[in-house]
Homo-oligomer: A and B are copies of this chain.
């Protein structure tokens, strides 16, 4: 039977009806105008209703992937930074509103599940999925099962410490990988260079307009040989590549799946991760390892959430 998948981001809710093979039959996207839990639940219901109507099939069950820390089993969002939520029982609220059994998971877990069953992970049992977009996230599939950890927060690769007492991270702690290599923080570091006047190449690329800075402009400035840009960029790339390589050593996945805006749009960063895994992951963990790009793009979380509910 088809199921409903929901992707709850910071600005939109997307809904899709997905068949048992992971094929999207219909989808809908609605902006989150009202960010109260009740408002968001209504927006999700609206998107869900539109998708179900377009698909014209009966759905049995609903899965939600949310950019949040999820309390295992209960479907409570402990912390959802994009929405400014703490301890919102989204699973229960949606169950009541939709009249469906609802399963809520972290967006990366949903994406990994989607890639496992309908994307670059098909046929494998052990995956490490690393997404570098505005943040850095990962999800682990071991023996065909999501590794969610005792509290449901496993996979937080972005929050391993790479420089104890280093840069302040959005999570409130210091020295996290994400504080150096996440897209938001690549831009923040580029902005610091621009403000300090220390990167001529970067200033020229964006015409001294800080709002035009992106991870791509930072990569371009670094690759043009600009010393300051290069230092920030290479440090980020090195931390990211080493972290991914070390997780390959510890987890020995069959496939490493890479995705997210930074890895998709910064070919140099992606290449450094591949080179790092080849150089630094233990030889035995690399035997038979396949490295692949995520195949489902923005739909991986939507499809994965639906399949988790199947």
Contacts and interface: CB of A to CB of B under 8 A. Distances in A.
Contacts of A246: 160-161
Interface in A31-58: none
Interface stretch (A107-115, A147-155, A219-227): A147-155
Contact of A252 (B78, B151, B176, B249): B151
Interface stretch (A185-193, A257-265, A279-287): A279-287
Contact of A250 (B138, B172, B249): B138
A7 interface: no
Contacts of A205: none
Interface string A130-171: 000000001010110101111111111101110010000001
B247 A149 contact: no
A242 interface: yes
Interface extent on A, as a size class? 35 or more
Nearest to A165: B279
A176 B249 CA distance: 11
A199 interface: no
Contact of A242 (B154, B164, B279): B164
A149 B161 CA distance: 24
B150 A147 contact: no
Nearest to A154: B252
Contact of A251 (B147, B254, B283, B288): B147
A161 B78 contact: no
A126 interface: yes
B143 A147 contact: yes
Contact of A150 (B125, B154, B171, B173): B125
A274 to B, nearest CB: 15
A77 interface: no
Nearest to A243: B246
A289 to B, nearest CB: 8
A80 interface: no
16 contacts: A142-B154, A145-B145, A151-B284, A152-B252, A153-B284, A154-B250, A154-B252, A156-B249, A156-B285, A161-B280, A164-B279, A171-B283, A173-B282, A175-B280, A176-B282, A250-B250
Interface of A: 69, 78-79, 124-126, 138, 140, 142-143, 145, 147-157, 159-161, 164, 171-173, 175-176, 242, 245-247, 249-254, 279-280, 282-285, 287-289
